[in-house]
Structure 1
Amino acid sequence: MRRLPPLLLGLGLTLTACGGSAGDAPASPGGSSSEVTTAAPQTLNPDRPPKVVDEVATGLEVPWGLDFLPDGTAVVTERDSGRVLTIRDGSVTEVGRIDEAVPEGEAGLLGVAVSPDFADDSRLFLYVTTGEDNRIVRTTLDDGVLGAVEPILTGIPNGFIHDGGRLAFGPDDLLYASTGEIGEVQLAQDRRSLGGKILRITPDGDPAPDNPDPESPIFTLGHRNVQGLAFDGGGQLWASEFGSQEFDELNRIDAGNNYGWPQFEGSGGSGQFTDPQVVWRTSEASPSGLAFLDGELWMASLRGQRLWRVSVKGDRAVRPRDFFVGEYGRLRTVAVAPDGNLWVTTSNRDGRGDPADADDRILVIRP
Structure 2
Amino acid sequence: MLAAGLVASACTAAEPSASIPPTATTGTPSATAAATTGWWSPTDTPTTLASDLAAPWSVVPLDGGGALISERGDGTVLELTATGELRTVGTVAGVVSGGESGLHGLAVWSDAGERWLYAYHGASQDNRVVRMPLLGDPGALSLGEPEVILTGIARASNHDGGRLAFGPDGYLYVTTGDAGIRPSAQDEASLNGKILRITPEGDPAPGNPFGTAVYTLGHRNVQGIAWTGDGTMWASEFGQDTFDELNRIVPGGDYGWPTHEGVAHDDAYIDPVATWATDDASPSGIAAVGDTVFLASLRGERLWTVDTADGKLAADPVASLVGEQGRLRDVVAAPDGSLWILTNNTDGRGTPRPGDDLLLRLEVARHE
Q: TM-score, normalised by structure 1?
A: 0.87
Q: Which amino acid aligns with 1:56?
A: L
In structure 1, the partner of 2:308 is: 312
Q: Which residue of 2 aligns with 1:100?
A: 94
Contact persistence 1:110–1:127 (CA under 8 A): yes
**1:341 alignment partner in structure 2:** 338
| Aligned amino acid, residue 161 of structure 1 | N
Which residue identity does 2:228 align to in structure 1? D
Change (3 A) 1:340 1:234: same
Aligned to 2:284: 288
> Post-superposition shift, 1:121?
1.5
1:138 aligns with 131
Please, which runs of 5 or more residues in structure 1 have no aligned partner? 1-20, 23-38
> Hey, what does 1:83 align to over in structure 2?
76
Pairs within 5 Å for 1:194-233? 194-214=191-211, 216-233=212-229
- The correspondence of residues 1-367 of structure 1 with structure 2, limited to 5 A, is 21-22=1-2, 39-43=3-7, 49-88=42-81, 89-115=83-109, 117=110, 120-143=113-136, 144-214=141-211, 216-318=212-314, 319-367=316-364
Q: How far apart, CA to CA, are the structure 1 residues paired with 2:331 and 2:41?
A: 19
Q: 1:168-220, CA deviations, whole angstroms, 9 ceiling, x for partnerless residues? A: 10110000010000111111111111000000000000001100022x10000
Q: TM-score, normalised by structure 2?
A: 0.86
- Contact 2:6 2:322 (8 Å CA) reproduced: no
1:98 Cα offset (Å): 1.2
Equivalences, count: 327
Deviation for aligned residue 1:70? 2.0
Q: Secondary structure at the match of 1:283?
A: helix
Which ranges of 4 or more aligned residues in structure 1 deviate by more than 6 Å? none
Structure 1 distance, partners of 2:292, 2:179, is 30
Matched residues in 2 for 1:288 and 1:274: separation? 20
* Contact 2:93–2:146 (8 Å) recurs in 1: no
2:45 is paired with a residue of what secondary structure? strand
Supply the distance in 1 between the matched residues of 2:193 and 2:97 (Cα, whole angstroms).
20
Q: Distance in 1 between matches of 2:332 and 2:118?
A: 16
In structure 2, the gaps of 5 or more residues are 9-39
Q: Deviations over 1:10-65 (max 9, x none)?
A: xxxxxxxxxxx12xxxxxxxxxxxxxxxx443448xx9743234211100001111
Report if aligned partners of 1:61, 1:81 keep a CA contact under 8 Å in 2. Answer: no
Root-mean-square deviation (CA), in Å? 1.4
* Matched residue SS, 1:52: coil
Find the residue that maps to 1:308 and give its secondary structure.
Answer: strand
Aligned to 2:27: none
Deviation at 1:118, TM superposition (A): 5.4
CA contact (8 A) 1:186 1:262 kept: yes
Question: 1:175 corresponds to which letter in structure 2?
Answer: L
Please give the per-residue CA displacement for 1:61-118, whole angstroms capped at 9, x wherever unaligned.
0111111222222111001121001112211110100131111111000000111x25
CA–CA distance in 1 between the matches of 2:106 and 2:57? 9
The residue identity in structure 2 corresponding to 1:287 is P
Of 235-244 and 316-325, the range deviating more from structure 2: 316-325
Letter matched to residue 181 of structure 2: E
- Write the letter of the residue equivalent to 2:74: S
**Structure 1 CA distance, aligned partners of 2:111 and 2:52?**
28
Percentage identity across aligned positions?
Answer: 47
Would the aligned equivalents of 2:52 and 2:355 in 1 still touch at CA under 8 Å? yes
Q: Is the 8 A contact 1:43 1:321 kept in 2?
A: no
Task: Give, in whole Å, the separation in 2 of the partners of 1:155 and 1:357.
Answer: 39
